[in-house]
Amino acid sequence: MTIRTEIEWFLADAAAGAPLTRRTYRTGLNRFQEYLLANGLDPEVHELEVLQASLVLGWASWLTDVQGVNRRTLLTYLSAIMSFISWLQVRDLQPIASSDYARLQEGMRRLRRNQKPPELVPHPPEDPELNELLLVARRPPSTSADPRERLAAARNTAILETLLSTGMRVGELVALRTRELDEADGSAWVTGKRGRTRKVFFATFAWQSTTEYLRQRHSAGLTYRGPLGDQPVFARHDRRAGTEVLPLSTGAVQRMFRKLAQRAGLDLKDVTPHALRHYFGTRMYRATSDLAVTQTALGHASPVTTRIYAKLADSAVQEAHREAFGDGQPPTTSPRSSSDRSQVRDTS
């Protein structure tokens, strides 16, 4: 069952006979679904497995830090999401592990006391995981494969490389049109949340994969009903699309990721389109140490949202510091001679 379906069941069941409660819960859960969409998680596509403690607490922080909701509204929304999670638990549908659930409850207690919840840091995929995913995607289909399958394979590689090297949201990716590509510098203009546009830059390998996919698609003789520049950069290649160039949905990209992750033997929760956006943000901040540049590259409206990547980079610095000074011992020096010590006293 998708998140949206379960929410509707909850509202029909748990709040039955209490119209005011149902309206209040619906408002809070609608805001939660807005947050999911903003983070590349479509509640009409994604299932309960994505509802982790970090996601729920991240929503609470987003409501206060980014949306600026007042305390009374925040507590109302928290009541809605916790009632929904409790309802799932009773029906053995709870996706949150017991250890994570304890962390969620502690975070909620702190929020109710007007304190910050524990700091939530996203966990972008590591390079070995991405390499496994790319190896699977780049594996060429058999020579006897259906032409649609070969096109889909070229497209999938281009999508993976584009997401990890541009930081695009999955919604921006599926909305991208060929007229928005700029061959001069390997970039594209994308339209993000609330109609904001920004320029994103492709890594050379991602640009080459994308243009090669478009070349193969053109050679296949597919048709598009409209101006050529309005063609989606990434199109469907399923049986129902036939010979038409039709845009992908965000759900189709999510399903593509799940299939590739399964073939690569990776945890589905660790490899998502939004996880690649976290990977991009982390790489950008580590390379520049500049929050403003990272914010612009990601298309964040608020630096508060971008600040999490500084924390990720700080953890890398802390690890390096631990490697350098982890034994807790001061550097060894040769003993000073008496003349050295007297010189120090004389100059002080």
Which two tokens mark 144?
Answer: 């006897």
191 φ, ψ to 5°?
Answer: -105, 120
Cα–Cα dist 275/258, whole Å: 13
**CA-angle at 32, arms to 30 and 38, nearest 5°:** 105
Question: Are the beta carbons of 202 and 186 closer than 8 angstroms?
Answer: yes
Helix 19-38 × helix 53-65 angle, to 10°: 90
Phi, psi of 204 (to 5 degrees): -55, -45
Residue 236 confidence class, pLDDT cut points 50, 70, 90: very high
Note the pLDDT of residue 328.
Answer: 53
Q: What average pLDDT does the structure give for the chain? A: 83
pLDDT of residue 118: 52
Report whether pLDDT(346) > 70: no
Predicted confidence (pLDDT) at residue 299 exceeds the cutoff of 90: no
Beta bridge partners of 201: 187
- pTM of the full predicted structure? 0.63
Q: How confident is the model at residue 7 (pLDDT cuts 50, 70, 90)?
A: very high
In Å, how far from its chain's centre is CA 213? 24
Highest mean pLDDT pick, 40-44, 79-83, 211-215, 308-312: 211-215
Please give the pLDDT value at position 253. Answer: 92
Task: Dump the DSSP string for 29-42.
Answer: HHHHHHHHHHTT--
Give the least confident one: 30-44, 176-190, 310-324.
310-324
Residue 17 reports pLDDT greater than 80 = no
Q: Do the Cβ atoms of 63 and 117 come closer than 8 Å? A: no
| Average pLDDT estimate for 301-316 | 69
Would you place residue 310 in the very low, low, confident or very high pLDDT band (cuts 50, 70, 90)? confident
Distance CA 118, CA 325 (A): 27
The pLDDT tens digits of the residues spanning 127-147 come to 899 999 999 999 988 877 789
Task: Give the pLDDT confidence score for residue 303 in this predicted structure.
Answer: 74
